Structure 1
Amino acid sequence: MQYQKTITLRDGTPCILRGTNSADAAQVLSIFNLTHAQTDFLLTYPDESRMTVEEEQQYLAKSADSADSIEICAILDGRIVGTAGISAVGHLEKLRHRAEFGISIDKDYWGRGIGRALTLACIDCARTAGYSQLELDVVAENTAAQALYQSVGFAEYGRNPRGFRTRSGQWQELILMRMELN
């Protein structure tokens, strides 16, 4: 799937949103590891990433060629500062209407409108791909992300009080959210 759009951030800075490709692999891996080290709100720890640059190249190429999934990057001053994407929950007939959404942004760029822009881009792509439902999980303590998701139309449909267990042994409640796209 392809996507490209230039937006203006809250501070007036231009930001390019575009679908990733295999040439982005090293930067995408770098921003993945950085963002996963900056917050405890994401699914994995940076040291759990086992993907090589070559494997990331293959994954991004497959995503770029896909009709129902995409990885979008946010680029400021020639540097990837965040990524977001959608992928199928499953390809069986009873599941193919559902897509999952994920996002991560370098903490130095939080609060500038990049998260909203990437989220809206993924919603557009999910509609284009023909999905009728977009889903995500958000850590309950991540109130800023919850507010963003609610503001663009996601609604809570459940909670998992032991959704994540941190390395320090703490439980993190996950809020399950979804958006109907049609």
Structure 2
Amino acid sequence: MEDCTCVVRDLSYVVRVAQEADAQALSQVRLQIDGETEYLDREPGEGYLSEADLEELINRDRAKPNRLFLVAESKGAIIGFSRCAGSDLIRLSHQVEFGVGVLKDYWGYRVGKELLQQSIRWAEGNGMLKITLRVLETNEKAMEMYQRFGFEVEGVLKKDKRLSDGNYYSTILMARFT
């Protein structure tokens, strides 16, 4: 996949495939994002991935034709990332699950949208027939964006997550067919 340069208002950033050298920064960015939003599955520090863990993940993804790990970088700093993770099982080899994270300071600059667009292009070009994702029911802006890109609701996991307010929220399962 080729690098993609984006300019939105006063922000210039590049979307590119993650490299092993990104592992340390990705570990820190992932931890920071977990503390900035409740839209993701993890509380800050849960499911922590160290630099070594991320190096291994990046290398594993680069070696598999049904996996893609992208980063968004601005002025030498990683500001977001996305991942398409496919299965090693033959019966599931036609699909990938998409996930994305963007630092809160960069919300509104279309970073998530660009990561999604690049992932869709990659999936279409690599024979992936289905892209799936999970989104918290309260993340209406994300759901609207996914629907604009052809994702449809496939199901609902009711009372799937308990957030810091003590209430339970549903996870929406969405998919796009290429």
SS of the residue 1:48 aligns to: coil
The answer for the alignment partner of 2:54 in structure 1 is 56
Matching residue within 57, 64, 67 for 2:65:
67
- Offset of residue 141 of structure 1: 0.3
SS of the residue 1:15 aligns to: strand
Percent of aligned positions with the same letter in both sequences? Answer: 24
Structure 2 Cα separation of the partners of residues 151 and 71 of structure 1: 23
- Offset of residue 73 of structure 1: 0.3
- Offset of residue 168 of structure 1: 4.9
Which has the larger displacement, 4-13 or 108-117? Answer: 4-13
Deviation readout 1:52-76 (Å, 9 max, x if unpaired): 2112111112212221101100001
The answer for the alignment partner of 2:7 in structure 1 is 9
The amino acid of 2:40's aligned partner reads: L
Structure 1 Cα separation of the partners of residues 48 and 157 of structure 2: 27
- Offset of residue 150 of structure 1: 0.8
Alignment partner of 1:38 is 2:32: no
SS of the residue 2:25 aligns to: helix
- Offset of residue 51 of structure 1: 2.3
Relative to the length of structure 1, the TM-score reads 0.91
Residues 6 and 14, structure 1, Cα contact 8 Å, conserved in 2: no
SS of the residue 1:121 aligns to: helix
The amino acid of 1:13's aligned partner reads: L
Which has the larger displacement, 8-17 or 111-120? Answer: 8-17
Please list every run of 5 or more consecutive structure 2 residues that lacks an aligned counterpart in the other structure: none
- Offset of residue 130 of structure 1: 1.5
Aligned runs of 1:102-141 on 2, under 5 Å?
102-141=99-138
Aligned length: 178
Residues 22 and 61, structure 1, Cα contact 8 Å, conserved in 2: yes
SS of the residue 1:9 aligns to: strand
- Offset of residue 12 of structure 1: 5.1
Cα pair distance change 1:4/1:30, threshold 3 Å: farther
Residues 3 and 17, structure 2, Cα contact 8 Å, conserved in 1: no
Residues 9 and 113, structure 1, Cα contact 8 Å, conserved in 2: no
The amino acid of 1:133's aligned partner reads: K
Q: CA RMSD in A?
A: 1.5
The answer for the alignment partner of 2:77 in structure 1 is 79
Alignment partner of 1:171 is 2:168: yes
SS of the residue 1:101 aligns to: strand
Moved over 3 A (4+): none
The answer for the alignment partner of 2:91 in structure 1 is 94
Structure 2 Cα separation of the partners of residues 9 and 147 of structure 1: 22
Please list every run of 5 or more consecutive structure 1 residues that lacks an aligned counterpart in the other structure: none
- Offset of residue 91 of structure 1: 2.7
Structure 1 Cα separation of the partners of residues 57 and 91 of structure 2: 25
